[in-house]
Structure 1
């Protein structure tokens, strides 16, 4: 981003607007893509999303004005709908006894990609510079290369995946062999009326949404609060993003375990518990004045927030089996809405505090003003983290309102036993 700002001459407002536009694009795309998955299957949706999504990524490397940059950022945000397709696909492909673990693992690797990008994109830029490209233009080539990779992955997905273990939905519908072929006939309005979906929407806003915002602001917070060097702070934030390689999987794994012990209610109980823990960890971190104490609770927050995300999508596949895509889309969009609202809260508190600090220290020297600004930002963000942590705790309690009917519990229990029976060797005597 610093290279882009210099090259295109972006103002601070344009920079923030590009981030907001990207999040907004993701929200709308996630809401839409779920219904499309129910109708056309995840394979075709993923193929088209990656191939069409590659276009604005490539075009971003060719933009010449801030307006062109903002437009490309908006459409690049649509690629964030890939999360929903992944969750639909794993929900269709995996049995009830492990679907939570499968959903959490695939989603965790998606988040991991975001962390890997912090390393990968600069490496691509450095490689391009080594071949004689001007450093100021390297970011453009990095985007073009990333777009080409995105396009190629769309082709890979088309040829090397299928919608269900039995085959592609289109073929199964044509032959009449797909017993769930009428998924797309469930009205979207009917899905919207289910209160449980909106509680999960709120839960995902309080987990994934908060993770995005906290990590997006953590770099500066660690520098301002604990006087860490930029490189050190950046590496710490990166390490927490990389925790997704296992942490989110743990949430899905324990969701499945509680599901086996206590049925669908067990999945909800674990989700409520881990979300409450997440809120407590963030509140405690916000009060930390020691780097050691802060680091410990930041680790615990990172672990619990990613587990809460995994636990959320161990519940989602059981809300409405006839509209898994629509449910996944709505809940997934909640994450980006939460990120947007939390970012606006922190930005507003920090901006007001920093302006006040600058005004109060006007004429005292650049170093003094800079220190006062950093301290004001630290205090404001700390208060913001505290408020957000409290909201997460309340959300953890609200999660308990998710209920399943006795019939739903019976169906889930039968499916669970059937999936477990397939793992037991059968001695067939002739």
Structure 2
């Protein structure tokens, strides 16, 4: 396979301009989404929060993203990424300002829960970038999109504490700092709609034949697909329990029981939609050979993203606080900057993971990255106050390189499974990333940081075994045009 060449500074190319326009949209969603994490001390002081209440906010922040990424995946396949991303950025701006204006812990919790919707923005760009780049470049392009976008959490950690204290100052400085981010996101939503396009000129935007769920190719894959949806509902049920009187007490027993019933109803509704989409196949209709794909591919990518992006979301949420608690004498701003070292690696690691996946093979590259992050998390589990801070930062960056390279490798494959369902496949993989985040943050609420890192490393070993079932994309995939013509899309 020839080495993919991509000149990111060649703005005469329409796809390069689109890539930069799109990664910056994702970047802003991450700044909005994690604007609270580096400001933990002042927010806790302003609302007199306990540590369990703060940890509940961290879990709430990523919870809604689980169903939101599924819903956004369906929306982007049906309506296109241009309008979908614009609406999400406008919504993100409003929610960000609302969080900055909150007057009680209950308001903080409700808005932070709603803010999880913003985390679904990642899915939109995956479909858009996949439309603009050929298979031999898509891993690197998706890596640039994801990596530079994910850097938004590091940018928030670097800048917001200083903006809050130096630019605005006073006890409400954090409010103005967070609100300013929301204003920028809102304005960029308008700019994105003005400048972005769904596909290159003359290209066809393939849409799913039916909406509501993935089309699968066999009865076996149908039941496999249903089973893969269950963990998303189970972890949301665990979250509801965590917020009950048995947990942090944010919700009453009546409210929690209502949520349980709602989750069962939502699960039943989703299963009915999946059945509706696949009804003809289940009744014996033959799926054309050119339309078949293996759902196994989607499932492997889901679990790989569970341990890569899931652990990243969990760790970037707690890492500034971990440095503050582990090393004496650090200020809030310094701890936030040290914690941002984890997300900082996104700038090179995620594009690097996509590039290496393009060049050396999908399964081999992902296997190496999973083993690397396993070693990284086991190393972080040994960090304590006796370590030199510089060495702790090096350990964080070593771990994060493999985590984010693994993310890049996952989404180097997603656009190659089935083009017209890329949004839904990306949505499901992305949702599993958030299942991982809620799982790991829930575990973190019960254990110390050392045990937390050790558990992630153990999960990564299990995922390494799962990754060995991944098949290398090869040859071509096909899509059917509106006039019935079959179009081949090369995978090499």
The two structures share one fold, judged by TM-score above 0.5 = yes
Which residue of the partner structure matches residue 152 of structure 2? 113
State which of 161, 165, 170 in structure 1 corresponds to 2:196.
161
Following superposition, the deviation at residue 40 of structure 1 comes to: 0.3
TM-superposed deviation, 1:189: 4.3
User: What is the alpha-carbon distance in structure 2 between the residues aligned to residue 6 and residue 104 of structure 1?
Assistant: 38
1:284 and 1:297 in contact (8 A); partners too: yes
The equivalent residue for 2:129 is: 90
**Per-residue deviation, residues 130-155 of structure 1 (Å, max 9, x unmatched):** 6xxxx112222223222111110100
Q: Deviations over 1:243-269 (max 9, x none)?
A: 2111111000101112xxxxxxx2122
Is the partner of 1:188 in helix, strand or coil? coil
Corresponding residue for residue 217 of structure 1: 318
Cα distance, 1:110 vs. partner?
1.4
SS at match of 1:97: helix
- 1:23-77: per-residue Cα shift (whole Å, max 9, x none)? 1122221111011000000000001111122222112222222222222111222
- Taking a change above 3 Å as real, the CA distance of residues 33 and 392 of structure 1, as seen in their structure-2 partners, is same
Residues 254-292 of structure 1, C-alpha deviation per residue, up to 9 Å, x if partnerless? 01112xxxxxxx212211221122112322342467547
TM norm structure 2: 0.68
Instruction: Give the Cα–Cα distance (whole angstroms) in 2 for the partners of residues 219 and 119 of structure 1.
Output: 11
Q: CA deviation at 1:124?
A: 3.2
Q: Which residue in 1 is equivalent to 2:298?
A: 197
Residue 119 of structure 2 corresponds to 80
Corresponding residue of 1:334: 432
Deviation per residue, 1:224-254 (Å, 9 max, x gap): 6665745655433222321211111100010
Which residue is equivalent to 1:396? 464
* Alpha-carbon distance, 1:19 to partner: 1.9
Q: In structure 2, what is the equivalent of residue 348 of structure 1? A: 446
The answer to whether the 8 A contact 2:383-2:450 is kept is: no
Q: State how 1:50-61 maps to structure 2 within 5 Å.
A: 50-61=89-100
CA distance in 2, matches of 1:180, 1:234: 42
What is the rounded CA distance, in whole Å, between the counterparts of 1:33 and 1:127 in structure 2? 37
Cα 1:74/1:184, change in 2 over 3 Å:
farther
Instruction: Using the TM superposition, give the Cα deviation of residue 344 of structure 1 relative to its aligned residue in structure 2, in angstroms.
Output: 1.6
1:85 Cα shift? 0.8
Counterpart for residue 173 of structure 1: none
The structure-2 alpha-carbon separation of the partners of 1:343 and 1:224, relative to structure 1 and needing over 3 Å to count, comes to same
Query: Among residues 146, 163, 187, which one is paired with 2:181 in the alignment?
Result: 146
Aligned to 1:410: 475
1:188 and 2:209 aligned: no
Offset of residue 200 of structure 1: 1.2
Could you tell me how far apart the structure 1 residues matched to 2:451 and 2:60 are?
Answer: 26
Q: What secondary structure does 1:116 align onto?
A: helix
Give 1:117 deviation, angstroms.
0.8
Q: CA deviation at 1:218?
A: 3.5
CA distance in structure 1 between the partners assigned to 2:125 and 2:204 by the alignment? 22
1:312 aligns to what? 410
| Pair 1:273–1:158, CA change in 2 (3 A) | same
Residue 371 of structure 2: aligned partner: 276
What is the distance in 2 between the residues matched to 1:224 and 1:53? 31
Structure 2 unaligned segments of length 5 or more: list them.
Answer: 1-39, 217-221, 226-294, 479-487
Larger mean Cα displacement after TM superposition, 246-255 or 195-204: 195-204
Structure label with greater radius of gyration: 1
Instruction: Say whether the 8 Å CA contact 1:108–1:249 is kept in structure 2.
Output: yes
TM-superposition CA deviations, 1:180-203 (whole Å, max 9, x none)? 544353661425732322221111
How far residue 416 of structure 1 moved from its aligned partner, in angstroms, is 4.9
1:232-311 alignment to 2 at 5 Å? 233-258=335-360, 266-287=361-382, 290-291=387-388, 295-311=393-409
> Within 2, Cα distance between the matches of 1:76 and 1:396?
32
- The reply to whether residue 23 of structure 1 matches residue 62 of structure 2 is yes
Q: How many correspondences in the alignment?
A: 364
> Any conservation in 2 of the 1:277–1:393 contact (CA below 8 Å)?
no
Deviations 1:271-319 (A, max 9, x none): 1221122112322342467547655443321211111111110111112
Listed one character per residue, the Cα deviations across residues 354-389 of structure 1 (whole Å, up to 9, x for unaligned) are xxxxxxxxxxxxxxxxxxxxxxxxxxx323322321
Cα-Cα RMSD? 2.6
Report if aligned partners of 2:357, 2:365 keep a CA contact under 8 Å in 1: yes
Contact 1:35 1:184 in 2 (8 A): no
CA deviations 1:101-130 (Å, max 9, x no partner) are 111111111111111011222343235536
Question: Structure 1's 75 and 214: CA in aligned 2 closer, same or farther, altered over 3 A?
Answer: closer
